[in-house]
């Protein structure tokens, strides 16, 4: 993509905006409600998503937006921003500081750029099809282990998938040298970002 640098800069701007909103609220005093799908949402989720949407609309009014808290817009556009304002809302709502903001950009249905920002730890991750994966502005690579038995495996929540998926996830996790579990914001997004980059 010839405009990758501008898109990366804008993505970082969005992540910075989200982080500033999250940090402006006390994690010890979070109100939440349960949505129709049974998942929690906080006023901060909605504030972040609205602010990010407004910023995207101002800069790229012809891009689509697919968010979690408000109706989607122009999802058939050539480029569509995908926003999860707080991935790990359960953790955020209960004062556990393992959550993050996920921002992705799809072009013609394929993800080309992804940002994960973890406000509690100050750890931003970014990567894309034409941009190296970076953590805190430092390039990162995959582990150089040759065998699965030397790998760290992060299968996510072992009880969320189908019985077949959970069985496969369990076998995969057992094969690695380290198995780590955690909230979606601290495990799944890293795997999703990797999958975006490898497409």
DSSP 106-157: EETTEEEEEEEEETTTTEEEEEETTEEEEETTEE------SSGGGSEE----
Separation between Cα atoms, residue 188 and residue 82, nearest integer Å: 16
pLDDT score of 191 more than 60: no
| Residue with the two structure tokens 């390039």 | 139
Please give the Cα distance from 157 to 183 (Å, whole number): 8
Confidence (pLDDT) at 50: 98
pTM value is 0.80
pLDDT at position 41 over 60: yes
pLDDT tier at 196 (50, 70, 90 boundaries)?
Answer: very low
Domains of the chain: 4-141 (3.30.540.10)
Instruction: Say yes or no to pLDDT of 167 above 60.
Output: yes
Q: Cβ distance 155 to 172 under 8 Å?
A: yes
């Amino acid at each position: 993509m010839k405009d990758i640098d501008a898109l990366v800069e804008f993505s970082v701007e969005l992540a910075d905006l989200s982080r500033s909103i999250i940090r402006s609220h006390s994690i010890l005093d979070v109100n939440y409600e349960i949505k129709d799908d049974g998942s929690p949402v906080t006023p901060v989720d909605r504030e972040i998503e609205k602010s990010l949407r407004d910023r995207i609309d101002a800069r790229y009014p012809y891009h689509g937006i697919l968010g979690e808290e408000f109706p989607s817009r122009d999802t058939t556009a050539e480029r569509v921003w995908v926003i999860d304002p707080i991935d790990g809302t359960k953790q955020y709502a209960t004062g556990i500081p393992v959550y993050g903001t996920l921002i992705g950009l799809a072009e013609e249905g394929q993800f080309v750029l992804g940002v994960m920002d973890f406000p509690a730890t100050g750890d931003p991750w970014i990567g894309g099809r034409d941009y190296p994966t970076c953590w805190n502005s430092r390039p990162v690579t995959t582990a150089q282990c040759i065998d699965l038995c030397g790998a760290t495996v992060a299968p996510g929540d072992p009880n969320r998938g189908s019985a077949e998926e959970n069985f496969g996830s369990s076998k995969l996790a057992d094969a690695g040298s380290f198995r780590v579990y955690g909230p979606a914001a601290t495990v799944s997004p890293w795997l999703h970002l990797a999958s975006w980059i490898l497409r």
